[in-house]
Chain A
Amino acid sequence: MRLLYDWLREYVPVRMRPEQLAAELTLRSIEVESVRNAAGTIDAAARVALVKRIRPHPNADRLRLATVDTGGKPVEVVCGAANLAEGQKVAYLPAGAHYLDQDGQTRTLRPTEIRGVLSQGMIASERELGLGDGHEGILVLSDDAVIGRSLRQYLGSAVVFELAVLANRGDCMGHLGVAREVAAITGVPLRMPPATLPHRAPGELPLRVSVETPDLCPRWSALVLRNVRIQPSPVWLQRRLNAVGIRPINNVVDLTNYLMADRGQPMHAFDYDRIQGQTMRICRLTRTTAFTTLDGVGRTLPPGTGVIRDAKQVIDLAGIMGGQVSAVTDKTRNVILQAAAFDSVSVRVTSRKIGHRTDAVGVYEKGVDVAGTMDALARAWTLLQDIAPGATVDRIVDLHPRLPRLPVIAYRPARADALLGTAIPLATQRAILRRLGCAVRGTTARWQVTPPSWRHDLLSEEDCIEDVCRINGYDVLPATLPTGTLGNAEPVPELELERRVKHLLAGYGWSETIQYPFTSATELQAVGTDPAECVRIANPLSANQLYLRRNLLPGMLRTVRDNLRYQNDVRIFTLAKVFRAARGTVTEERVLEFALSGEDDRRSWLNLRGVVDQLLDDLGIAGVTYVPAAPKPYAALRVDVYAGTQRLGSLHLVHPQTRRAWKIKRSVVIGSLLHNALLHHARPIARYAPMPTLPAVTRDVACWVPTDAQYEVLAHGVAATVRGVLPQVDTTVTFLDEYVGNGRRSLAFRLTFVPLRRTLQAHDVDQVMERVSRTLKEQFHATLRS
């Protein structure tokens, strides 16, 4: 919400610098997002100008040529703004003047040829002048602006605050509400401007109003006005509206907008004579109905929508926007000026359902002051006598089927001190509550606090404590650490392991990545997952993000592809959740996924396998086996990893076809391990094993093997051959090397003999090696390399 400092000072004449007040408000009441002086950043050369004539640009459909009067010789400029119209007063920047570009950078304007037409200067938007974010069109000045006058002079000292009003503070959606806060903070008393209604209303224009759904509309107040002449608003009013970002239209519409900005009370003006049967019924629709709002947009209203109907049709979308059918026009003579309190939830829900948000919705959804509708109308009538001379009040309507009862809150000042951890004097607490408009009664220990009608957010003792605390200042509260025992901090095993695993992998030279959990049907199908088994997002940001991932493969392939643009060697991992649809609910599981892209499949595979071997070893997982598994559509080679009988995960060589789907040219291998399975088997606390006391004897063996021989089978065979041959000796077989080339393959491995009792003699080992070579030859058709 925009707040004009001078407008605020009408209610509370503070003598603070605007920046200082903004800082106070931000800490104690409402965040002030920005303070700007509308005139401050504008180039001194900027002038008020009149758009005299517009003609199309000869070479561009979207551009027009405007002849503008800047007080001297008329100039022609090229303009792309859709809201440009003849007769407008606008802000003109001549060549050489400074303006802000779309990145907020200051630039110097130069005469430029745009599509073959020379543009001398430019007609500026709000943003180009540094006045705000408005860039949808040019800034239109009010009609009283004097042509040729300096724009700075015209705008004067218009200091505007941009406020971010909290969701529960509907009372702060207008200048009056903010003024109440300022009064409470500064102690400067509030000063209410005159606001009176006539004592008598003749009631010559009949009108029957009924509120059929009190839950939708707790209060409906209105003035029926006669002989209203529709004309432009006076200059002061137009300027104020402009300053807070509202476009002036005519006196009646401007008045409704003015009061919304002034009181935080949305208003609407109906043309009395366009209402059929002099009847207004506030009700909810029972069936789907078409309706054209006053912006000319046809809308479909679902059943349950809160509306106002006349004898014939819907005339108003309650609390959101009026209808075209009953809107005020130049011909309007009699006006119904409505100040209604519509229910915040109803307005909000309807607004979302039909996808239409207006300023009024922004105010109603935070809640208006139900007790304040007649005050707002009184203020409107007081102003109206100046801006529409000759108008009279014919009828005053005030229906309040459901006025909210003001709560009486039991308040203990000592409780405030205990909760805050400080001592705020009783007198201070009482004074703050009173300055905020609360009635405070009661003894020293227990007070009865009745909040003012506009503070519907004050419902409990804590709410009042917050108000005392914030006005007193969060900054003056002490900062202390809690004392006493606060329970036991048990570690979470999943997270402990997560941390350990990530650090191990980073230590091996791999980089952690984090992907969004979203995926698409195409990606899922490309890795052989049926989208029907996946969790679908009801309101995705895009079709690419329609599903939650069922596995981490697609995201990893995306990351591999993106990084291959800059480097050849990609080794990444992630430890993240995957999601699965399960009987109306969703199960989630942590998975550790590795991806590696390398020169060729074999090297990539060995690197992946090596890191998995090392990781499982470092986690103390025993009995690990790798079992070849049937290939999948996305995996040319697949191996399952087991610890004992439990599957820990799999390693995959990504199928070239799948790689192509992700536009990856290089070899990619992927490993995935289930975090819970790792957790189950991990024994990360290494046990001491005694070092052998006697020297070990090793023998290296290299042999030619058939190309399809499997090392693990061979190693098992060798181990079985030597087992138990030498008593009191431990024998292990470890892999050394592999060579593949010229259609031949060789394997090298090492036998290590560790004697437990006595030093091993070379000839004992030589005997065993004879057996080994025999086994290799006979069982595995291998020939020893010399």
Chain B
Amino acid sequence: MTSFSDQLRTLLADARTAVASAKDSAALRTVEVTFLGRKGRFATLARSVAAASAADRPAMGKALNEAKRELSTLLDDARTRLDGGAVAPAIDPTVPGIRPRRGSLHPVTQMLERVWDVFSGMGYALVDGPDVELDQYNFQALNMPPTHPARDMQDTFYLDPRQELLLRTQTTAVTLGRELGKRTPPFQILSTGACYRRDEDLTHTPMFHQFDGAVVGAGVTFANLKGTLQTAMRRILETDVAVRFRISYFPFVEPGAEFDLALPVQPGQRQRWLEMGGCGMIHPAVLRRAGLDPDRVSGFAFGFGVERPFMIKHGVPDLRLFFENDLRFLTQF
């Protein structure tokens, strides 16, 4: 018993000295392991408690635990002392922090997701279609037989000598070409994706993206088209823009219109309008070809570019930037 309490006293004295002489938190950690670790000196001493008689054990255990608690307290105090002195001078609060690495979504993706969200909010179902399209869906179903002059507006990449297979020139191929005949009115659908035209200059890239919508049901009107596009475009651009509709011609709509957006005007400048896309009431021949009766249902359709609204919204001057994939551009948004 005596030897145990002597041992314990010596042990505690050693521990106090060790704690007092520790200069940093690493040294404290060593002290902690040496004394309180799984194979530390307290653990070794604890074995003699196990070997003692049942009568002595409670007192020995109590003394041991008190000593351990004291050492723990000493260690905590020492840590506080060391830390408290070190925090302030070690950190320069004016140095910028370590930021997480930031990735980016392509501007086209960002705009498409905005478009999806706006039209989903209006109850549109998203539809998907192939990039390699049949002439039938891209043109013929849309009132554009092979010799139609309106095809010249959409110079086409063909994939076979018979010109039956092509890269779609418009996502209308999905909404009016493919889906119209498959669905039962009423419905409202949105198709988005890459389109291709054989054209490359300042304002044209051979690939670009579109979103195309169609709404079909009893009593769908041109006024509905106006309301829909006005509302949608304001939500997409997140600003209250002036828009206008003017006469245009697309073989698959009648009446047809071009949808323009007013660019913000600087004082002294003339109002400038920018073409955003085409729209109109679905042509009765297109409806009939899809098995729908123009006297029972009507519908409207619209097709817009994706890059252009992004350019307006974010002030991007050049379409070609979208596909040069310069990370210095892509990571700006």
Contact = CB atoms under 8 A, between A and B. Distances in A.
The answer to whether A and B interact is yes
Interface of A: 26-29, 31, 166-169, 344-345, 348-349, 365-366, 418-422, 460-463, 465-466, 469-470, 474-475, 477-482, 484-492, 494-495, 499, 502-503, 505-518, 535-541, 545, 548, 559, 562-563, 566-567, 570-572, 577, 579, 584-586, 588, 762
A490 B125 contact: yes
Interface in B265-318: 281, 283-285, 298
Given A462-B283, A482-B224, A579 B244 contact: no
Contact of B105 (A495, A502, A517): A502
B122 to A, nearest CB: 8
B215 A486 contact: yes
18 contacts: A28-B246, A167-B150, A365-B149, A418-B298, A420-B222, A482-B220, A487-B125, A489-B123, A491-B126, A495-B126, A511-B330, A515-B323, A517-B207, A537-B158, A538-B157, A562-B324, A566-B326, A571-B103
A539 B158 contact: yes
B327 A516 contact: no
A514 B322 contact: yes
Nearest to B147: A345
B186 interface: yes
B153 A474 contact: no
Contact of A474 (B104, B128, B227, B247): B247
B125 A513 contact: no
Nearest to A415: B295
A481 B228 contact: yes
Interface of B: 38, 100-106, 108-109, 113, 120, 122-128, 130-132, 147, 149-150, 152-153, 157-161, 163, 165, 167, 183, 185-188, 194, 198, 200, 205-207, 215, 217, 219-224, 226-228, 230-231, 244-249, 251, 254-258, 281, 283-285, 298, 322-328, 330-331
A480 B224 contact: yes
A559 to B, nearest CB: 5
Given A474-B244, A495-B126, A588-B132, 18 more contacts: A31-B246, A31-B248, A166-B249, A167-B149, A365-B149, A420-B223, A421-B222, A478-B227, A482-B224, A489-B123, A489-B188, A509-B103, A511-B327, A512-B104, A541-B200, A559-B325, A577-B131, A584-B160
Contacts of A422: 221, 223
A572 B149 contact: no
A159 B245 CA distance: 26
A475 B223 contact: no
B255 A465 contact: yes
A475 B131 contact: no
Contacts of A469: 222, 255
Contact of A537 (B101, B159, B228): B159
B285 to A, nearest CB: 8
A295 B198 CA distance: 29
Contacts of B147: 345, 348-349
Q: Could you say which of B125, B257, B327 has the most chain A C-beta atoms within 10 Å of its C-beta?
A: B327
A541 B198 contact: yes
A489 B161 CA distance: 39
Contacts of A481: 122, 224, 227-228, 231
A595 B211 CA distance: 29
Given A535-B159, A762-B38, A514 B224 contact: no
Contacts of B101: 508-509
Contacts of B186: 484-487
A14 B27 CA distance: 98
Given A365-B149, A466-B255, A537-B158, A513 B132 contact: no
Contact of A567 (B130, B281, B285, B327): B327
Contact of A566 (B128, B158, B328): B328
A119 B101 CA distance: 60
Contacts of B248: 31, 166
Contact of B127 (A460, A461, A492): A492
A584 B160 CA distance: 9
Contact of A479 (B122, B226, B328): B226
Contacts of A29: 247
Q: Which 3 A-B pairs have the closest CB atoms?
A: A421-B221, A421-B223, A509-B101
Nearest to A514: B106
Contacts of A510: 103
A25 to B, nearest CB: 9
A494 B100 CA distance: 29
Nearest to A537: B157
Contacts of A465: 254-255
A166 B280 CA distance: 15
B131 A588 contact: yes
A44 to B, nearest CB: 23
A513 B330 contact: yes
Given A480-B224, A588-B131, A474 B105 contact: no
Contacts of A518: 206
Q: Specify which of A461, A539, A588 lies most central, judged by the most chain B CB atoms within 10 Å of its CB.
A: A539
Contact of A489 (B103, B120, B183): B120
A486 B109 contact: no
Contacts of B131: 517, 577, 579, 588
A168 to B, nearest CB: 5
Given A499-B113, A516-B207, A539-B198, A475 B255 contact: no
B12 to A, nearest CB: 25
A474 B330 CA distance: 39
B106 A513 contact: yes
- Residue of A29, A480, A487 contacting most chain B CB atoms (<10 Å): A487
A481 B194 CA distance: 28
Given A492-B128, A572-B327, A512 B254 contact: no
Contacts of A499: 113
Given A479-B226, A507-B103, A514 B108 contact: yes
Given A29-B247, A503-B105, A535-B159, A344 B126 contact: no
Given A477-B223, A487-B186, A762-B38, A508 B103 contact: yes
